[in-house]
Structure 1
Amino acid sequence: GVGSRWTQGAGVCKALHPFHRFAGKHRSFLEIHLAKNRAATSQHGGVIPHVITTSWMTDEAIRTVLDRTRNYGHHGPVHVSSGRSVGLRMVPMVRDLHFLWEETAQQVLDQQQQKMRESARSAIVNWAEQTGEGSDYTDNVAAQCVHPVGHWYEVPNLFRNGTLSQLLRDQPSLRYLMLHNIDTLGANVDPALFGLHIESGATLSYEVIPRRLEDRGGGLALVAGRPRLVEGLAMPDERIEFGLKYYNSMTTWIDIDALLEAFGLDRDSLNDASAVDTAVREMAARLPTYITLKEVKKRWGHAQEDVFPVAQFEKLWGDMTTLSDIDSRFIVTPMRRGQQLKEPSQLDGWNRDGGSAYVDALCKW
């Protein structure tokens, strides 16, 4: 994605932002991850193929920079996994708009400003009713009408675009993947955690960290006697989310063959596009779908623009833990390993508490 929180809506590729100085040079998120790969292979030997998942918003930019920098000087195999899923935004339901305006906390304005706000909201309700609640949102430029459909699709994209098949052809002995966010800078191929995952025999091992106040996005909970990750979007009250002790860092150790079996696939059937597409659709149908409201801009005239709320759907990777037939385990890891940098305002604290020094020690520049 483009890291909308990191750039405050600037729409640039977060992975390529040279945000911090290491070894005398400003480094991007992507360069830091490749430096960690370089350090791990240098210390332990072997080859660790590195895969970067992209969407239509970031694919061209990432490929261009990797080509220009020769993979930031990284000599191991680097693959770019292009997104294969895209959603079309919808005109929101009026009841969802009322819920947004009446149930969520917001500033109370003075009398005149409040009248203006209510007038604008009334106009938006009329727009939704006249356009058609729940209909496709197409009255804008294409980039404002489509949206990413959630990070659950990143692993299935490896199946659909041939990246996983290519990895297995290049290295038939490959049995495990480690999945993590671009902004989880402390995550590396730690031998102890890797061994723990192998020893457990789990299909998926999720890393969780102690929750801090700014961590939003769900966490580890006991549901009907079974531990699983619960997304913040699934909770009826945000206070429940803050009651959870452990936050989902999203870093996941994956047993490739066990996951393929859960999808009804194997290494050979990865080459059958029809079978893969069917397997992905069937698995997606078993998982919850979240509807969220986003604001989009519609520009007109001379530098004039309107802002409309639109609805979009997402499926999230943590919900794989809801499936009882998939063996999911959870590993509590230190904060520095799972901390995510979502906003530039976190950088000062990250430097002061030793987070940047910790990441630097994991890298080989």
Structure 2
Amino acid sequence: MIQQAYIRPIGFVPGPQSEHGNAVRLAGGMAYASRFAVILRRDGVVAERWLAAPDTMAGVLGQLPDGCGADAEAQWSNLTLAHPPLELGARTVRLDQPQVMGILNVTPDSFSDGGAHDGPDGARAHAAAMLEAGAAIIDVGGESTRPGAKPLWEGDEIARVVPAIEACAGMGAAISVDTRKAAVMEAALEAGAHLVNDVSGLAHDPRSAEVVARAGCPVVLMHAPGAAGEDLHEGGSYDNVVLDVFDALRARRDAALEAGIAAGKILLDPGIGFGKSLADNLALINALPLFHALGHPLLLGASRKRMVGALSNEAEAGDRLGGSLALALEGMRAGVQLHRVHDVPETVQARNVWRGLRDAALTDFGDLPG
């Protein structure tokens, strides 16, 4: 019998004073949780569920079966683990507040903006505009990962991303490369990229983990059910999508650690839209705070995704700004550190207003005695 415990934050407050201190700061960020569900899963099925607050958590964890307690204690500790800033070239990206990662697609067949920024001049102009608008990181991608997209030869992908990365490096940007191929990672890092964003969680190319470990760079491990094959979206069948994705990300994290990648260099992404139904995506968005229990910064890539269109009378990709902002704000409330988006100025503005509200809540003692 396989048993596994999970700790999911389910109750949130503007600040710890709202609960007279009986709340925790999630991942050292700007989200505070005061109520938690402790879930016990046996052989893939949720068997028991307890509710806890910070001052009762020890008692609840003490009820867990032998073999689950140590991992649950680690998860509880991870939920409050503050992450140091990312040092990306000359730029420092703090992770104690939400940061915006701007998408720079240099591919003609992206689902959202294919061809819009093709060519060095177009890529340079768009990257400059995103940096000026407040993007902390520019994420350069040369291969479409939309459903049905054909795999791209690594030489063609390198030819697309390297000029864009060099242009961004010339601006002093913090640069991420969105690829699942080791050769592209090597070329991108040599051209000036600082972070690898792998939609396969380093499962697609057997050399990729070695490349990242040798470079010592940060890496985003994303969940996709078909990560090891050509079709990232293949095999999206789940018993419990939230807990299954949690377990899969933990497995990819552990594989990265075994490959020599430092724990402090790993970020995790639940892979919204990759081999997941609308119901799956909604469940994952609602459960985002759970993933802090893995002990790594989180990235959310929900911008202009199909789920927005499905909930908005089939709005086309370019008409999904409102829904994309709603998902980004939900991620911020969940304590997600990095938000990968197409619409940087609008997301940065939404983030700044949200952050102002959170800052004000921390100093609002008007309804407390004394």
Asked whether the two chains share a fold, i.e. TM above 0.5, the reply is no
Larger radius of gyration: 1
Please give the range of the TM-score, normalised by the shorter of the 2 chains: under 0.3
**Whose relative contact order is higher, 1 or 2, with alpha carbons under 8 Å and at least 6 apart?**
1
Question: Scaled by the length of structure 1, what TM-score is found?
Answer: 0.25
